[in-house]
């Protein structure tokens, strides 16, 4: 494997674990303010991010490439209201999309078709993640200022259940 592609894939393990940590921090925020449905939604999101990290880990293992685990950064976002959390989520997903695109570009440049095929799943996944993050903002804009609507939105989000990723390595 090309050294740059390898380095970027290895870094992505850390970025995905950081994503999990960030969403756990979101979940923690919502738990503190009593919105347990939002807390549930982000706790499951954190679980998905751990799955993503393990997919990058497993891909490198399968390719007999060395994995180097680095320290996971502290979640660094500050929130003064619910909307701040949701906007930080969208901003973060756009950043992750740019990371996936950068790895894809490096693999493309090296004609590393296997890595490109592996990344295809993540390209699609990032589209869904950005849509979900946008939807959360839209719903909060529509319903967040009315307590009864916010209660029902919280109920809706409490129904989210964890499902394992469709990509299996």
- Residues at the interface with Mg ion (CB under 5 A): 49, 52
Nearest to residue 23, comparing CAs of 39, 46, 44, 40?
Answer: 46
Question: Cβ 82 to Mg ion, closest distance in Å?
Answer: 22
Beta carbon nearer to Mg ion, 103 or 150: 103
Question: Cβ 142 to Mg ion, closest distance in Å?
Answer: 26
Beta carbon nearer to Mg ion, 125 or 154: 125
Residue 115 CA: distances (Å) to CA of 38, 56, 90: 35, 10, 26
Residue 102 CA: distances (Å) to CA of 46, 95, 107, 116, 161: 23, 11, 9, 11, 31
Beta carbon nearer to Mg ion, 32 or 76: 76
Rg of the chain over Cα atoms, rounded to whole angstroms, equals: 17
Question: Cβ 151 to Mg ion, closest distance in Å?
Answer: 30
Structure tokens at 74: 């502290």
Nearest residue to Mg ion by CB is 52
> Angle, nearest 10°, between helix axes 147-158 and 36-62?
40
Question: Cβ 80 to Mg ion, closest distance in Å?
Answer: 26
At a CB cut-off of 8 Å and minimum separation 6, what does 154 contact? 35, 36, 37, 38
Beta carbon nearer to Mg ion, 29 or 56: 56
Question: Cβ 52 to Mg ion, closest distance in Å?
Answer: 4
Beta carbon nearer to Mg ion, 49 or 112: 49
């Amino acid at each position: 494997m090309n050294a740059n592609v390898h380095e970027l894939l290895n870094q992505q393990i850390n970025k995905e674990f950081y994503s999990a940590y960030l969403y756990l921090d979101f979940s923690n925020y919502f738990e503190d303010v009593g919105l347990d449905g939002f807390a549930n939604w982000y706790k499951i999101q954190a679980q998905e991010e751990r799955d993503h990290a393990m997919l990058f880990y497993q891909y490198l293992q399968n390719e007999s490439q060395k994995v180097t685990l680095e320290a996971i950064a502290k979640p660094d976002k500050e929130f003064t209201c619910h909307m701040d959390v949701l906007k930080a989520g969208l901003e973060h997903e756009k950043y992750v999309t740019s990371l996936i695109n950068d790895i894809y570009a490096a693999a493309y440049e090296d004609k590393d078709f296997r890595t490109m095929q592996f990344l295809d799943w993540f390209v699609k996944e990032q589209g869904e993640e950005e849509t979900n993050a946008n939807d959360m903002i839209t719903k909060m804009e529509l319903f967040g200022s009315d307590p009864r609507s916010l209660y029902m939105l919280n109920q809706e989000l409490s129904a989210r259940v964890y499902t394992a990723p469709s990509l299996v390595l």
